[in-house]
Amino acid sequence: MSPPDITVNADAGQRTAVVDPGMATATGNCTPPVISYVREDGLASLGAPFSADFSGSEGMGVTKITWTVTDFVGHSTSCTQKVTVLPLNEV
């Protein structure tokens, strides 16, 4: 299950925000599943700032994170979370 979508203001004086998007969750019957993610903006770290200037598939300031859960036999499923950074104090 994906973490909930998030909307935040950019950090003061910036057009980016450091956001803790959380972590997808899953359970397995035998061994814990492997959870991986891909940020639409191409950054590898969840701790890297999200940008109000990024123009992704959902529009300006919205970065999708695709979470994938894979079990021990290779079955996988994916879900998507949106992180939106507003350039001004609009929240």
* pLDDT at residue 57 in the model: 93
The predicted model scores a pTM of 0.89
* 26 HSE (CA, 13 A, CB side): 23
69's tokens? 């859960």
List the chain pLDDT tens, one digit each, 91 residues: 899 999 999 998 899 999 999 999 988 777 889 999 999 999 999 999 999 999 999 999 999 999 999 988 899 999 999 999 999 765 4
DSSP helix/strand/coil, 7: strand
Q: Which of 36, 82, 79, 37 is nearest to 57 (CA)?
A: 82
**How far is 74 from 79, CA to CA, in rounded Å?**
17
* pLDDT at residue 89 in the model: 63
